[in-house]
């Protein structure tokens, strides 16, 4: 496996997350993601990706030297559309939109996440890529939403806790990995209305 894993995400001039892949690479990643959603991580093969996308295995391995790197890139590319900060003008609505998007993602991609987490645990390079291109990107998204709420006067900056930022996506991922506790739209509403908003709007002693 290579020492550095490229997943193809950057920011454009407006702060939106954009893909750096070529159109052909995006096509290969889309095929990979579709097959992952159909078969799961363990049953996916690079041979099948190559056959469906009419590409050679050499072409795929030249860009992504391992199956795990290919899957991680496909997973992150598939999530890219959700990395645009909502701008409803309301913190509650922004959080609801993030939660709704995250819920849809985990429903589609739970089998992929299970397989990836096993691979990430064995690879420092994949761990770093997952942190910087997935975890940190989502933290940045939440940070942007909270900063906008502070600027609008909805919350006090002192109420923001570093442990809070990943509660919404993180808890949904955790619940999705439990076969008897799949998250629902009500889970999102409860998290936002009964946990996150009360925490952020509490009176803070200065």
Average pLDDT, the chain: 84
Please, are residues 132 and 118 in contact by the beta-carbon 8 Å criterion? Answer: no
State residue 3's pLDDT score: 44
Q: Which residue range is the domain that position 201 belongs to?
A: 85-206
Structure tokens at 100: 């709704």
Contact 71, 32 (CB under 8 A): yes
Q: Is the pLDDT higher at 20 or at 127? A: 127
1 domain residue, yes or no: no
- Give the pLDDT band of residue 32 (cuts 50, 70, 90): very high
Residues 68 and 136 in one domain: no
Look at residues 49, 81, 113 and tell me which one is the last residue of a structural domain: 81
- Separation between Cα atoms, residue 45 and residue 50, nearest integer Å: 9
Q: Pick from 30, 52, 81: which residue ends a domain?
A: 81
CATH code for the domain of 187: 1.10.357.10
Instruction: For residue 46, tell me if it sits in a domain.
Output: yes
pLDDT for residue 49: 96
Pair 74, 127 in one domain: no
Lowest mean pLDDT: which of 10-24, 103-117, 124-138? 10-24
- Do 105 and 187 sit in the same domain of this protein? yes
pLDDT at 26 over 50: yes
Q: Looking at the predicted structure, is the pLDDT value of residue 43 above 50? A: yes
């Amino acid at each position: 496996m290579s020492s550095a894993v490229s997943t193809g995400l950057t920011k454009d001039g407006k702060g939106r997350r954009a893909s750096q892949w070529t159109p052909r690479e995006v096509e290969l990643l889309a095929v990979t993601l579709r097959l992952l959603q159909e078969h799961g991580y363990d049953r996916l093969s690079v041979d099948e990706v190559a056959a469906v996308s009419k590409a050679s295995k050499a072409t795929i391995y030249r860009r992504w030297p391992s199956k795990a790197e290919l899957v991680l890139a496909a997973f992150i590319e598939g999530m890219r559309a959700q990395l645009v900060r909502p701008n409803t003008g309301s913190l509650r609505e922004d959080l609801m939109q993030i939660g709704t998007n995250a819920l849809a993602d985990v429903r589609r991609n739970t089998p992929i996440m299970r397989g990836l987490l096993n691979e990430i645990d064995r690879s420092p390079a994949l761990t770093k890529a997952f942190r910087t291109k997935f975890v940190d990107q989502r933290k940045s998204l939440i940070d942007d939403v909270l900063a906008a709420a502070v600027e609008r006067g909805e919350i006090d900056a002192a109420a923001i806790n570093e442990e809070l930022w990943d509660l919404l996506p993180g808890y949904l991922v955790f619940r999705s990995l439990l076969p008897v506790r799949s998250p629902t739209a009500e889970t999102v509403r409860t998290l936002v209305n009964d946990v996150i908003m009360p925490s952020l709007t509490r009176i803070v002693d200065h």
